[in-house]
Each structure stands twice: as structure tokens, then as C-alpha cells.
Amino acid sequence: MEWDTGAAAWMLTSASLVLLMTPGLAFFYGGMVRGKSVLNMMMMSFGAMGVVGVLYVLWGWSMSYGSSVAGVFGNPFDQFGLSGTLFDADGQPMVGLGNYPQVIDVAFQVTFAIITVALISGALADRTKFGTWMAFVAVWVTVTYFPMAHMVWGGGQLSGAEGSIAAAMFGTTDGVANTAPIDFAGGTVVHINAGVAALVLALLIGKRKGFGTEAMRPHNLPFVMLGAALLWFGWFGFNAGSAFGADENAGMAWVNTTTCTAAAMLAWLITEKIRDGHATSLGAASGIVAGLVAITPAAGALRPVTSIVLGVIAGVLCALAVGLKFKFGYDDSLDVVGVHLVGGLVGTVMIGFLAADTGLFFGGGANQLIIQIVIALVAVVFSGLTTLVIGLILKATLGWRVSQDVEVGGIDLAVHGETAYENLGGARVVSEVK
């Protein structure tokens, strides 16, 4: 077989861009916490890369894209260790979603699993045992992420396949739901999934000492801006790569991603200026991420002008939503709920209004809007319940919180034996070659 090397090159590039997003997230989150917690915060992202990078090869791909069990998850033993995924019975490379070897799809999809679980860590800053976090990563990605990926992208209950919820609601033609859900790059799988998990764990673990009474300002805003820049750059692999080829769909996703993100940043800054009197660098960085989140499920369904509309809505709503934690008293440390859950819900539902071919505002009727709301609600319930069970089990066994002395004194030094900055106390670890 003669492969489409252009598509293969684009997909490998996209996979690399998405992988870069997790270190970018580490900078984004690391800059937002206090100086005594920055290394721990960044290690939570890097730890996710290690755990998920191994588990995806073992059973993650199989649970996401293997033979379906009740449309909820793939059989983990079907392609365990990628057996039957890379080569066929004749030893020839399996064909992927494009005209390229399927191993490239594995490379692309593992990066989505990594960034999704890493996103959750932002809700747990300053107070979480690193060992418990690593155990959570392994269990949550298996019990929650892989099944969600299967349900949406692997032909399961939240797809448009025969036997899905959409097929039951609207009927099928040639085995495909007459109105299929749209999740181009992960509004449900990534952002709603991670946002709900973050909310559940924030409630379960409890508030940081001093939350609501002490100033907990970001210690390094240049880190936050750098992280936002790396996320925006990597997101082109996230969204444009989800076209699975270097074609007009990838180009449209690229332009939609840029315009929505730019509009969301401006909308967030205007909201800040009106509400607080200042347009801040933290607001600019947060607005960028809000726009990126909102356009993720819609990147292939909207057009550039409607992407601007989506960006404005997401920027305003997410800027307002990050303040809800103070009103309701949950300590979502770095605004995972306000940005990723709210942004993911906005992007997923607004497809029903703004989709170029099937949206309510473009003559498509209400069906697309209805199914978008349904899949969003199912994703919320599924992620919430599974995360709650996992969180309670880990709380009863390993425990979630570090001691109060560690939390006050600095989790970096106590847990990792290092500090990011010498003036925070403790000896800097230096390796010398003599």
C-alpha cells in the first residue's frame, strides 16, 4: 500500500503538538499557585504523562476503540498491549483513520488521554498527596476517560452509531443516527469530563487552609502567560489534527480555533475591566484557554464568524463562572470548573445553535440542539459518578490530603525534597559532574 505521507506527517506533528500541551499546562498551573507549591503542581502534570503513557499502550487503546461492551467501553483484552492494532495477520501495518498506519492514531489519541487527566490537577493545588494523585490518574483514566472516549469516538452510546442514544432518539439511515452528536475534538471527552471530575474532587477533598480569607495569588504570571502560549500553540494539533488529514477540514478547524480564542480573550478582558476596573494578564491567559476549550467540540462544525460569536459567549460566561467558587464555597484552586466545565458545556451546547449545517439558527431545526444537551448531561453524570466512587475509595485507603504542617510549610520541600526558589527555604538540589 502507498501511504499518504502528507497526512501521516501532519498527524505525527499534531500528536507532538498535543503532547506539548501537558508541559504547557504545567507552566500554566505552576505559575498560578504559590511559590512553595509550584514543583508539586508541575509534577502532577508530568506524573500524568508517565502513568497514562504506559496504560494507554496496555489497555487504553483497547478500552477506547476495541470491541464494544454495551456501548460503554471497549474490551480491554481485545487489543491488550496493542495486539492486532499495529499489524494484520500478514504482518502488514494496519490502516488508520486516514491513509496512514494505525500506529499514528495510537500516538495521537494517547496525548488526549494524558492532557485530560492532567487538567484535573488544577483543582487540587497545595493540599494533595502526590502518591494518591498518581493512583487516581491510573484508576480514573481507566474507569472514566477510556469509556468516555469509547462512548463518543469509539462507536458507543454517545456517538452517532447504530445502538447509540442518538440512534434511539432520531432513528438511523444506513446504520448512522439521523441526527448525530458533534464532538469534533473533545468537548465531552476532555473538558466536561475533566471539569466535572475537578468539581467532585474539590468538594470531596475540601478547601485549602486559608481559602477565602488569605490572598492566594499566582506567584509567577510570566509562567502563566508562557503556559497559555504553549497551550494555544499545541491546540492546533488538538483541533486541526482531529480532521485526521491535512485538508480543508483541518484548515477550517485552525481558523475557527484562532478566531474563537482571540474573541474569548477580548471578551474576558472586557468583562474584567467592567467588573474589576483592570484587564489583567491572568485574565488574558484564562480567556485564551476558555476560548480554546469552547471551540474544541465545535471546530469542525462552525464557520469563522460564528466562532467569534462562540468565543465572546465563552469568554464572558467563563470569566463570570470562575467567581462561583467563592459564592458556593468550593475550592477549585485554579478554576478548572469555571474554565473547562463551563467552557466545555458552552461549546458543546452552542453547536446546536451555531452549526453551519444542522444548527437551529441556520435552519437545521432543534434536533442537533437536543442531542448536544443530552450528550453533555450524560457526560456530566457519568464523570461525576465514577469520579465520586474513585475519590471515596482513595480517601478511605490512601487519603487525599497532606498534613496541615506540610500544607502551610510548603508541599514542594516536604514531598519532593526540593524548592523552586532558594529564598523559600531548604537546600536546592544540585547535581555536579566532576
Express each pLDDT in 383-395 by its tens digit: 999 999 999 999 9
CB-based burial, 225-260: b 16+ in 10 Å, e otherwise: bbbbebbbebbbbbbbbbbbbbeebbebbbebbbbb
Instruction: Kindly state the helix (H) or strand (E) to which residue 74 belongs, with its residue range.
Output: strand 73-74
Instruction: Give the chain's length.
Output: 434
Question: Helix 304-321 crosses helix 281-295 at what angle (to 10 degrees)?
Answer: 130
Write down the pLDDT at residue 422: 81
- Which CATH number among 3.30.420.40, 2.60.40.10, 1.10.3430.10, 3.90.1150.10 corresponds to the domain 5-424? 1.10.3430.10
pLDDT tens digits along 331-382: 999 999 999 999 999 999 999 999 999 999 999 999 999 999 999 999 999 9
Alpha carbon distance 304, 290 (integer Å): 17
Question: Helix 5-32 crosses helix 38-55 at what angle (to 10 degrees)?
Answer: 150
* Residue 391: closest CA among 138, 141, 142, 136: 136
- Asked whether 390 and 143 are in contact (CB, 8 A), the reply is yes
Write down the pLDDT at residue 429: 41
pTM score, whole prediction: 0.95
Write down the pLDDT at residue 147: 98
Cell of 6: 502528507
Q: Which amino acid is at 186?
A: G
- Mark residue 148 as left, alpha or beta (left: phi above 0; alpha: psi -120 to 50; beta: remaining): alpha
Pairing mode of beta strands 68-69, 176-177: unpaired
- Asked whether 122 and 29 are in contact (CB, 8 A), the reply is yes
Strand-pair partners of 87: 93
